[in-house]
Amino acid sequence: MSAPRWLSSAEQRAWRTHLALHKLLMHRLDRELQEHSLSLNDYEILVNLSESPERRMRMSDLADATIQSRSRLSHQISRMEAKGLVTREDCWDDRRGTFAVLTDEGWETIQRVAPHHVGGVREHFVDLLTDDQLEAIEEAYAPIVEHLKKLR
């Protein structure tokens, strides 16, 4: 086994800054959503369903879209069903498949909460950066995202 390639000072600073940003931002956005009785995971699921045709997705596709295991998503959907935000329906073309479906209450919730969440994203991230910085972040992260998607 070859010796590890340790991070340079600049690489270490960049990595730790990324970790701190991710943890602090996700914590802040999650706390703000808790004021609306939602978690960040709940919100992400509501967004995916609200943007899907007929406000429904196969559970397997939703797990992929939200980067969760099928088991974890199933537990998450059960909690959201108890709140009346989503329901499950059998797939008509595949007896093994199940749809997660946004309920009317889930639709009303995403419509009510989205402006607050977007406000938080702007306040804690977007509005703190210039357009050039936002573009640079997208350019820097896009190949990493694609690399990691291939490993899933």
For 106-139, how does the pLDDT look when each residue is reduced to its tens digit (9 = 90+)? Answer: 999 999 999 999 999 999 999 999 999 999 999 9
Instruction: Please list the ranges in the chain whose pLDDT falls under 50.
Output: none
pTM: 0.90
51: phi > 0 → left, psi -120 to 50 → alpha, else beta; which? alpha
The span from the CA of 70 to the CA of 60, in Å, is 6
The span from the CA of 125 to the CA of 38, in Å, is 20
Q: Would you state the structure tokens that stand for residue 122, as one six-digit string? A: 């702007």
Sole residue written with tokens 């995916």: 48
